[in-house]
Structure 1
Amino acid sequence: MSTSLLEPLKIVDAVINRVQGQDLTDDDLYRLQHAFPEQTVLGALDLIDRGNVLKYTTSWGHTEYEIIGSNGTYLVLLDVSTTGYPYFCSCPAFIHYVLQQKNHVMCKHILATRLANRLSVCVHRQMSPEDLVLLYTRYYPAKDEEEENDSSMLGLV
């Protein structure tokens, strides 16, 4: 992870980790508004208020999150240890503002997921191995044969 990203992430992690109980205090809101753009905070709180943070847990303890947003449903990963960034969201804002432009440290979906966890207000659902496969294939569909054939003809596979 780049050192330019490390400090802002430490700050926002500290702000989020101070949240306790089942309600945000005025101090929590004040700190959030100073750590994130207003639109990100309001969007995250709206997602939480509408119960749109889904937490899926398998019988072996694996956890995935899905956020029902206003423009789509997104997969959120909170513990990505194989990349240079600790979180991932499948939304366009994360890819554009966080990964490409690097002017935000997280999108509203990741903030909502982190806060909902701290507040213990995620909508919790058990997930079977088959359900986990279905979740992943929704977000990471297999290439269709035509795409693979086109790629192999071009020498890309």
Structure 2
Amino acid sequence: MATSALVPTVLESIRPDTFDEDGLEKLRFLFSDTLVLAALDLIDRESVIKYKKPWGGIQYEVYGSTANYTVFPGLPGPSPDNKSSSYCTCPAFAYSVLLSRTQIMCKHLLATLVAERLSKCIERNIQPNDLAALSVRHCAS
């Protein structure tokens, strides 16, 4: 079984009340120590923001050290099996995941997925005008 196929299983095993050394070891089995520690640091710094849209949608943003990135953890897949895919607007995702295929995700995406499982996302409601400003800010950076 490919490593990327194990990701959903490992993430589903993470629970807020039982995340311990075992959960950490499962993450370290799939991802480098550097990636896991960077993602957990983002969560500890409360950098994963979950915006709830008025019409029921959700958008994630991760505050990085140099910029903020929009993360899309569950995009519908274009393939016939309709597997979901993920995307982050950071340069590391573009290079390491999409171009060189040396990683299966960036620290922002991993932080978003783990924070969601641990109920550690900072939740904010967002209005349509705020969402438009958020989108423009990302296009300008």
Same structural fold, with TM-score higher than 0.5 when normalized by the shorter chain = yes
Question: In the alignment, which of 67, 70, 73 is matched to residue 65 of structure 2?
Answer: 70
Alpha-carbon spacing, 1:82–1:13, altered in 2? closer, same or farther (3 Å):
closer
Equivalent residues in 2 for 1:28-67, closer than 5 Å: 28-67=23-62
Question: In the alignment, which of 15, 18, 23 is matched to residue 20 of structure 1?
Answer: 15
Superposed displacement of residue 82, structure 1: 5.6
Specify the alignment match of 2:119 in structure 1: 120
> For each residue in 1:59-100, what CA deviation from the matched residue of structure 2 results, as whole angstroms up to 9, or x when unmatched?
221101111111211111112226577111111110000000
Specify the alignment match of 1:108 in structure 2: 107
SS of aligned partner of 1:87: strand
Q: Is residue 22–residue 121 contact of structure 1 (8 Å, CA) maintained in 2? A: no
Specify the alignment match of 1:88 in structure 2: 87
CA RMSD of aligned residues (A): 1.8
Question: What stretches of structure 1 of length at least 5 have no aligned partner?
Answer: 1-5, 142-157
**Residues 1:9 and 2:1 aligned together:** no
Alpha-carbon spacing, 1:83–1:22, altered in 2? closer, same or farther (3 Å):
farther
In the aligned structure 1, how far is the partner of 2:25 from the partner of 2:88? 25
Aligned residue identity for 2:105: M
Q: How many residues align?
A: 136
SS of aligned partner of 2:2: helix
Question: What stretches of structure 2 of length at least 5 have no aligned partner?
Answer: none
In the aligned structure 1, how far is the partner of 2:78 from the partner of 2:88? 13
SS of aligned partner of 1:140: helix
SS of aligned partner of 1:79: strand
Identity of paired residues, percent? 38
Superposed displacement of residue 13, structure 1: 1.6
Q: Which of 1 and 2 has greater Rg? A: 1
